[in-house]
């Protein structure tokens, strides 16, 4: 056997070993990706439950649902304003941990809805006279919702949540 044949044999052996190593590494990476937590049935279940909770949060902080839930008997406008804002913040804080299971875009949308609703309540309350009642504020909010049906992010956020959840299924 000549030196050339020996060198050629060694080069071919190195190429063959390199090929086997690359195939082995690719299989290991593929296996690792298949075992990622997002593909795990338990993780998928948690993520879907988080989308359910975020949907519930979105519904609970919508202005029309807040008005029906927050007791307003005998409250002043200012007291009602504080009650509505506190309710929004409590719902949001209670569900804050769900953000680790949903996409950043969905969480941003929920956060924007929270901020928009607080802003609307504050702005509408500020337009009422000092002696206004909770019922006056409620009526003002209902009028706003009726006259500006496209101004609320509520439906847009629900659609985003629905879209993201369906991608998981």
Tens-place pLDDT, residues 19-54:
778 778 877 777 765 665 556 788 889 899 999 999
Q: Tell me the pLDDT tens digit for each residue of 136-162.
A: 999 999 999 988 877 778 888 999 999
Residues 139 and 104 in one domain: yes
Mean pLDDT of the chain: 87
> Would you state the pLDDT for residue 110?
95
Distance CA 134, CA 71 (A): 9
| Beta-bridge mates of residue 76 | 133
User: Quick one: what percent of the chain has pLDDT higher than 90?
Assistant: 54
The reported pTM is: 0.74
> Would you state the pLDDT for residue 31?
73
Residues 116 and 65 in one domain: yes
Residues 29 and 63 in one domain: no
> Would you state the pLDDT for residue 29?
74
Residues 17 and 75 in one domain: no
User: Quick one: what percent of the chain has pLDDT higher than 70?
Assistant: 95
Residues 15 and 56 in one domain: no
pLDDT of 13 above 70: yes
Residues 13 and 62 in one domain: no
pLDDT of 14 above 70: yes
Q: Scan for tokens 């979105």, then name that residue.
A: 58
Residues 132 and 106 in one domain: yes
Residues 116 and 133 in one domain: yes
> How many domains in the chain?
2
Residues 95 and 163 in one domain: yes
Residues 31 and 77 in one domain: no
> Would you state the pLDDT for residue 36?
58
Residues 49 and 118 in one domain: yes
Answer whether 160's CB lies under 8 Å from 106's CB: yes
* Local structure of 76: helix, strand or coil: strand
Residues 115 and 134 in one domain: yes
Domain residue limits at 16: 1-35
């Amino acid at each position: 056997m000549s030196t050339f044949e020996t060198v050629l044999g060694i080069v071919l052996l190195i190429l063959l070993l390199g090929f086997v190593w690359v195939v082995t590494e690719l299989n290991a990476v593929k296996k690792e990706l298949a075992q990622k937590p997002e593909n795990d049935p338990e993780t998928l279940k948690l993520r879907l439950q988080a989308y359910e909770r975020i949907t519930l949060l979105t519904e609970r902080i919508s202005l029309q649902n807040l008005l029906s839930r927050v007791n307003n008997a005998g409250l002043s406008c200012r007291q009602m304003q504080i009650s509505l804002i506190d309710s929004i913040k409590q719902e949001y804080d209670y569900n804050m941990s769900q953000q680790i299971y949903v996409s950043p875009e969905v969480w941003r949308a929920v956060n924007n809805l929270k901020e928009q609703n607080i802003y609307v309540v504050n702005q509408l309350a500020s337009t009422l006279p000092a002696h206004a009642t909770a019922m006056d504020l409620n009526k003002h909010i209902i009028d706003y919702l009726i006259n500006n049906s496209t101004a609320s992010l509520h439906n847009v956020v629900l659609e985003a949540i629905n879209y993201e959840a369906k991608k998981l299924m």
